[in-house]
Structure 1
Amino acid sequence: MKNTRRLFIKLSGILSLGIFNKLNALNTNKSKVTNSEGLLDRSYASGLEEKGKSVIGGYGKWAGGLLEGQLPRHSFRNSNWTNIDKWRSEAIKITQEKLAAPDLGGVPKVRVDNHYVYDGLSIEEISWKLPTGGRSQGIVLKPANSKGKLPGIMAFHDHGGWKYFGKRKITQTSEERHIMMVDHQKMYYEDLAWANEVAKRGYVVMVPDAFTFASRRVLLKDVPKNLRQGLNDDNPELPENAKAYNKWAAFNEDTMAKSLFSAGTSWPGVFLAEDRKALDILCNRADVDQNKIGCGGLSGGGMRTVFMGGLDPRIKCAVCVGFMTTWKDLVLHKSFTHTWMTFAPGLPQELDFPEILGLRVPLPTMVLNSIEDGLYTLEEMHKADEILSEVYKKAEAIDKYRCAFYPGGHQFNKKMQGDAFDWFDKWLK
């Protein structure tokens, strides 16, 4: 247990969407959770929210105070914002400036690498080239033999601490799954490939690999030898090699984030840029009704939903799962459970975290939280709900917003999936 705890502490920089998630799995046992990497004590994260304490010690009161006393400048809750269109235009502009998303050019040219039918679904394995990195890969699923245009869903995979994997985390394309994905889907999705499940309801579902994951991952051969920790890209599908890569990639997050900042961009900015290219591909399909597009995902997928749902008006319905709190929560309690992928300097002064997703008001928005999710404090999850409720009430669109809390830890289980899919059906069909 000591060795596991020691490794866990070393990996704290990637905990939010990563190894830390093991602490908040579908199992609601409050003592320990068993997974392929050993036993982890769930109390480690939740035990830090001691009254009067902060993760940055005595500096917490000062740092937290920087965000208190007045609403963020571009918060729609401010009484000086009375015209919703003017507010949205200016708030989106300043948010995009803070994210500094790079320009990735026009709509990518898509290649269909494989096409087959599995479990009643037509499945396409596709790829496209962006200005940097190898070919991006994605999976498109829809009911087999469907005709005409269907509504579309951008399904965002989670982080899970496993950068070797991406789209496979939430899809199943044959009877055989990688053993690590069997464990992963049991851990977070009640053994369901949720992208398949929503596709069966009559959607064209696009699942792209995210920046630094799977086909978008950093290849070891492209890194200086002295920084590879003795690893290489050989036989990556072997579980021991995939796990070794995931550990290396976890330590590399600091380096990637600092390099992105030095290049004048941010990790969420790159996510946004690449996810928009994937959305371009989905909207350009002949079988998709581009006026009926939704997006959603758990954890890292929930974070991508916040930015895509808030900043791209093509997203008509958004479902954020397991990624909603306030900047205050991150300042005082939970920054250590989150990766660099969440942060853009200067943005908290303009909008609180829930208000990024609130930029889409009055478009339909759902937020699903778990009561025992150690990535956030329950108090600030409720505060985020209050903030979004206030935004939607001011826009006279409270019927377009729904938030729910479920028992258990970090998850997107069958019940939550059913509620999310019903929400998509309500607004996209």
Structure 2
Amino acid sequence: MSTDRREFLKKSGLAGLGVMGGNLLNLQANPQSINPALPVNNQQELNLIGAYGPWAKSLNLEKLPSYSFRNSEITDPDSWRDATRKLVAERMGAVDLGSIPKVTVHQTGTFEGVDFEEITYQLPSGNPTKAVILKPENVQGKLPAILGLHCHGGNKFLGLEKISRTKDDIPPYVQAHHNTYYEGRAWANEAAKQGYVVMVHDAFAFGSRRVKIEDVPTSIRKGITDFSLETEEQIDVYNDWASNHEHILAKSLFSAGTSWPAVFLAEDQMALNILADREDVDASRLGCAGLSGGGLRTVMLGGLDPRIACAVAVGFMTTWADLLLYKSYTHTWMSYVPILPQELDFPEILGLRAPLPTLVLNDIEDQLFTLSEMEKADKILQEVYAKANASDRYKCTFHPGPHKFDQAMQVEAFGWFDRWLKG
């Protein structure tokens, strides 16, 4: 495993284990190490919460969730979809960000065949959101559009730069990110070259939307300041701080009656409003895509916003059982909606968009998920789309390799968009 990948795993979840993580892994390998006199059930599959795992799974995850479209008594797709979207919004603690804000264009130009606009807009809280608009050079008229959703990657200092580019001279750590997860490409630019208007914005708590050190009490700053974030080493220090601060931010959002997925969704929908409102965009042909954290956001936005005519979720598809038993430690607080597993399995959030076209791209050796659970998620979505009489509009592909959105996967994604947004 590369150093970059180890750092990613550390910052996107493993850092939360610390010394206890080492103890947990040791106990999984040798449950008697804590007390050799204790009996061991060798028939029980090891899981992250030990003897409590089978019990916790039995509470809700061994039967069809109550709002699952796979239930035979659900026969009206439209009524089911409307009611279930409303339910998910309630479970999340949906927030309203108001009307579309004024957009300020700061810079325009052309880079490697792509015209770009660097913009900002002010949401009701936090610093202005930075975004970039990309489209093919010298193209006129309305085009289909894609909202590009950047990843987590253990790096909250960066946002839109993870998948877009407007100049040759970029910091080495940005290029390293492109190399590690996207086979050296800024995939949003590549999508624009295929004939799309592509918008990429900084997500909540990333880039321009990140939590600033000077805005929190001195007691939790850990001796760092925003003004010192210049070198790659200093940025790594901030990202470590931000990883630990996720616990505080998530608990604070819960205390406010909302959740991280709700804020993600609200800000992504506002970006979609801005994109759809452009004169060069055909608002009837909107898509979204993203890897990892961007794949999670694709699940939520694609499942809950009917304007997304075509969705491509990359590197984020599994079941609640996988997160319960095996892989919660590789994920952040951004994934969880309390109580919802009683009513929908995780893939069924994305399945709310059936019969609209949906592509899921998985990596066979993805260390963030269990392969058998990714395969179960695929079967669930197959069932949902079959019941919606739209099997031809759902596709799932398993690509070789670890967690990534490489060039082969990008080609498949762009082909899927071409089929459904240009066809």
TM (normalized to structure 2)?
0.91
2:13 maps to which residue?
15
Residue 66 of structure 1 aligns to a residue whose secondary structure is helix
Pick from 64, 72, 79 the counterpart of residue 71 of structure 1: 64
Q: Report how far residue 236 of structure 1 moved.
A: 2.4
Normalising to structure 1: TM-score of the pair?
0.90
2:156 to 156, 163, 168: 163
Q: What does residue 255 of structure 1 align with? A: 248
Q: Secondary structure at the match of 1:285?
A: coil
**2:353 corresponds to 1:355:** no
Q: Secondary structure at the match of 2:234?
A: helix
Q: Indicate yes or no: 2:399 matched with 1:401.
A: no
Task: Give me the whole-angstrom Cα distance separating, in 1, the residues matched to 2:417 and 2:8.
Answer: 37
Provide Cα deviations, 1:303-356, integer angstroms capped at 9, x if missing partner.
Answer: 000000000011000000000000000111011111000001011111000000
**Does residue 343 in structure 1 map to residue 341 in structure 2?**
no
Preserved CA contact (<8 Å) 1:67 1:328: no
Bigger Rg, which one:
2
Corresponding residue of 2:317: 324
The residue type paired with residue 152 of structure 1 is: A
Q: Secondary structure at the match of 2:97?
A: coil
**Aligned-residue CA RMSD in angstroms?**
2.3
**Matched-pair contact (CA < 8 Å) for 1:189–1:411:** yes
| Partners of 2:86 and 2:216 in 1: CA distance | 35
State the alpha-carbon separation in 2 of the partners of residues 178 and 15 from structure 1.
25
From 222, 239, 247, give the equivalent of 2:215. Answer: 222
* Partner of residue 372, structure 2: 379
Deviation sequence 1:93-122 (CA, Å, 0-9, x none): 101101112111011110001111111111
Q: Give the letter for the 2:327 counterpart.
A: K
Contact kept, 8 Å, 1:316 with 1:364, in 2: the verdict is yes
Aligned equivalents of 2:298, 2:358: Cα separation in 1: 10
Q: CA separation in 1, counterparts of 2:233 and 2:102?
A: 35
Letter in structure 2 aligned against 1:150: L
Match of 2:271 among 268, 274, 278: 278
Task: Report the Cα distance in structure 2 between the residues aligned to 1:374 and 1:160, rounded to whole angstroms.
Answer: 13
State the alpha-carbon separation in 2 of the partners of residues 15 and 385 from structure 1: 24
Please identify runs of 4+ aligned residues in structure 1 that moved more than 3 A: 3-9
* Among 82, 86, 95, the residue aligned to 1:93: 86
Aligned-residue offset at 1:67: 2.2
Could you tell me how far apart the structure 2 residues matched to 1:205 and 1:69 are?
41
Structure 1 residues 363 and 286: CA distance shift in structure 2, 3 A: same
Q: Which residue of 2 aligns with 1:302?
A: 295
8 A Cα contact 1:19 1:161, kept in partner: no
1:192 matched to 2:192: no
SS at 1:199 equivalent: helix
Paired residues, number? 400
Q: What are the within-5 Å matches in structure 2 for residues 167-246 of structure 1?
A: 167-246=160-239
Do the aligned residues in 1 keep the contact of 2:7 with 2:154 (CA within 8 Å)? no
What is the match of residue 56 of structure 1? 49
Q: Secondary structure at the match of 2:95?
A: coil
Alpha-carbon distance between aligned partners in 1 of 2:405 and 2:235, rounded to the nearest angstrom: 24
| Cα distance between partner residues in 1 of 2:188 and 2:309 | 18
For the Cα contact (< 8 Å) 2:8–2:154, is it kept in 1?
A: no
CA spacing shift, 1:68–1:223, aligned 2, 3 Å: closer
Q: Are 1:426 and 2:394 matched, yes or no?
A: no
Code of the aligned partner of 1:257: A
Change (3 A) 1:361 1:131: same
Q: CA deviation at 1:6?
A: 11
Q: Gapped runs of 5+ residues in structure 1?
A: 21-43
Q: Which residue of 2 aligns with 1:34?
A: none
